[in-house]
A and B are shown apart, each in its own frame.
Chain A
């Protein structure tokens, strides 16, 4: 399973994402924002960071990168796409996911562990039983998920809220405690917390994040 990780100018967590893929049994493939093809990968990750310095709006410049045309085609064809933090912002700006990410309600950059609940099936939560709690690092200044009330109602009704902050973990003021969403088909997923930073026992944070990546690299049946 070859999983591409796109590096934009200002991406920070691209190497971590590739390493997480490798630790979970996949091949991490480096992709470059100015390229136009995805090198035949089986999945694509848009990593965290501050692409283009967050100028204008987070993700506003990156959504027009040359490689994004290929990402759009890949997504439309059902290919698995995961956006983490800045990657989530880019997917929202690109219209591949609903909603947007705004400045944290408390205005502060937040860096702390977050507990999130996996609520729905998706390409990136295939091996995780709904209701499972994961503890993964959260680090963002603009992580307040927003969509209008009608869109939020639709997301809830259609089962597109994939991750929700557990009580006490919604530190950025996201609407309805939403930490991550998916598109209607379930192949495109975005979340603010960083599963790629929770894959190694040697570092703080445990390895709860692995379940996201093994959904693709080593899907197992959901235990009943």
Chain B
């Protein structure tokens, strides 16, 4: 069954205070020259569908529930077993 990974971030024009807090913490920890930090969500799920049907179902799920189009942008892709973030 295909596994889908979905990455969600606040739209770029929206202030992400979490990202900003992380960005400000980095230099003090010795990690210099890091800018534009954004903190978001990574979702993974198995879905019993393929091709066009898979695309349509993932897009609908993202639009209806998994993301809020008013504030968030997302990208998704089908991943292999060794691309799992929790592998």
Contacts and interface: CB of A to CB of B under 8 A. Distances in A.
B14 A93 contact: no
Interface stretch (B51-59, B62-70, B78-86): B62-70
Could you tell me the dominant secondary structure of chain A's interface residues?
Answer: loop
B17 A107 contact: yes
Given A60-B65, A64-B65, A104 B17 contact: yes
Interface residues of B, number: 12
A103 B21 CA distance: 13
Interface residues of A, number: 18
Contact of B10 (A64, A93, A102): A102
A192 to B, nearest CB: 16
A102 B66 contact: no
Given A93-B68, A104-B17, 19 more contacts: A60-B65, A64-B65, A100-B68, A100-B71, A102-B10, A102-B14, A102-B15, A103-B17, A103-B18, A105-B17, A106-B17, A107-B18, A146-B14, A146-B70, A146-B71, A148-B13, A148-B70, A173-B15, A173-B17
